[in-house]
Amino acid sequence: MPVKTVARRVELKDYTTLRIGGPAELWEVETLAELKEATSAPFRILGAGSNLLVSDRGVRERVVKLGAAFNSIRTFDRDPEQWIGAATPVPGLVRRAQRLGLSGLEGLLGVPAVLGGAIAMNAGTRFGAVSDSLLELELSIGGRIERIEADQVSFGYRWAELPKGGVVTRARLALTPSTPDRVEARLREVDAARAGQPKIKSAGCAFKNPAGDSAGRLIDVAGLKGLRVGDAMVSLEHGNFIVNLGNASAKDICGLLELIQNRLPSPLELEWCLWGF
Ligand SMILES: Cc1cc2nc3c(=O)[nH]c(=O)nc-3n(C[C@H](O)[C@H](O)[C@H](O)COP(=O)(O)OP(=O)(O)OC[C@H]3O[C@@H](n4cnc5c(N)ncnc54)[C@H](O)[C@@H]3O)c2cc1C
């Protein structure tokens, strides 16, 4: 059966939390057959766009987004080892796990990702990362569906070594039965640690923490909070957040990143994924 065309031209700024990014061809897919078709030419896979800095010129490759059919929030139940679709929003998963009394996702509180993006970045906090709660991954690789045990994948700090060209379509979680009250108490702890993070448009932490230190502290000590290029600014609340005050461009953000790096004793490693540079 022919696969229907699911592509349209968009501005990627409408798909990133920084609200920055130029034009691209977006393929929003609802079936594995559509995913196979969409990934048959050079592509990039888009999650919730919460860790992306996209060029003002956009990207040449197809941008593939898993649609609502890959969102399992409605069927998420008490089974601690269930399969969850990669387009399921992490905030909803964390909240629903709490209500069901399932523990393991608390460290992801406040991460505005979808599950696939969280796995690709091994998202988390010092309270735990997504890789702590994974049993198995299902990926589409060149349209072929493969399953991999999570312990066969290398996960590091904000990093996962997924098979090249692999799109995570679902993941089987490994949660621990607990009670809603206990999970809620843990969430409060995580929430308290997040206090002080800006609510303005951002892409989360810009830089990875160097071993034994915090990038935010280094930026703060260097007196860089409030530093600005156009509408891009180092957050006044948290030195490792760069915020878009309104109409920042990718060029503004890059200018600001360069200023920051030049004023630090040693350069920091960027945590964001760069598209189209
Ligand atoms: C306010 C704010 C707070 C944040 N706090 C945290 C935090 O506490 N901890 C933390 O770790 N991060 C945090 N982040 C950063 C961000 O949420 C994470 O990096 C997250 O994992 C990105 O997921 P995403 O779905 O938005 O992916 P995207 O940003 O869309 O994509 C990120 C990468 O994942 C790849 N990808 C996406 N989906 C798939 C898939 N299905 N299969 C394979 N690859 C895929 C993309 O190609 C890209 O390379 C924060 C961001 C914001 C805006």
pLDDT of residue 271 exceeding 70, the answer is yes
Ligand 1 atom 50, closest CA = 204
Query: Ligand 1, closest atom to CA 116?
Result: 41
Report the C-alpha gap between 228 and 177 in whole angstroms.
Answer: 47
The candidate with the shortest Cα–Cα distance to 118, out of 67, 65, 47, is: 47
CA distances from 146 to 98, 115, 163 (A): 30, 17, 10
Q: Is 134 helix (H, G, I), strand (E, B) or coil?
A: strand
The candidate with the shortest Cα–Cα distance to 160, out of 150, 170, 173, 169, is: 150
Mean pLDDT of all residues belonging to the chain: 96
Report the C-alpha gap between 77 and 123 in whole angstroms.
Answer: 22
CB 54 within 8 A of CB 21: yes
Q: Does pTM surpass 0.95?
A: yes
pLDDT in tens, 101-134: 999 999 999 999 999 999 999 999 999 999 999 9
pLDDT of residue 166 exceeding 90, the answer is yes
Residue whose CB lies within 8 A of the most ligand 1 atoms, among 111, 119, 200, for a mutation test: 111
Our answer to whether residue 158 is catalytic in this structure is yes
pLDDT in tens, 52-63: 999 999 999 999
What 8-state DSSP symbol labels residue 207? B
pLDDT of residue 176 exceeding 70, the answer is yes
What's residue 6's pLDDT? 78
- Residue 2's pLDDT band, with cuts at 50, 70 and 90, is low
What is the set of domains in the chain, with CATH numbers? 7-67 (3.30.43.10), 71-194 (3.30.465.10), 198-264 (3.90.78.10)
pLDDT over 90 percentage in the chain: 95
pLDDT of residue 4 exceeding 70, the answer is no
- Residue 241's pLDDT band, with cuts at 50, 70 and 90, is very high
- Residue 5's pLDDT band, with cuts at 50, 70 and 90, is low
Ligand 1 atom 3, closest CA = 204
Q: How far is the CA of 90 from the centre of ligand 1 (A)?
A: 10
Ligand 1 atom 12, closest CA = 123
Task: Single out the catalytic residue among 44, 62, 158, 172.
Answer: 158
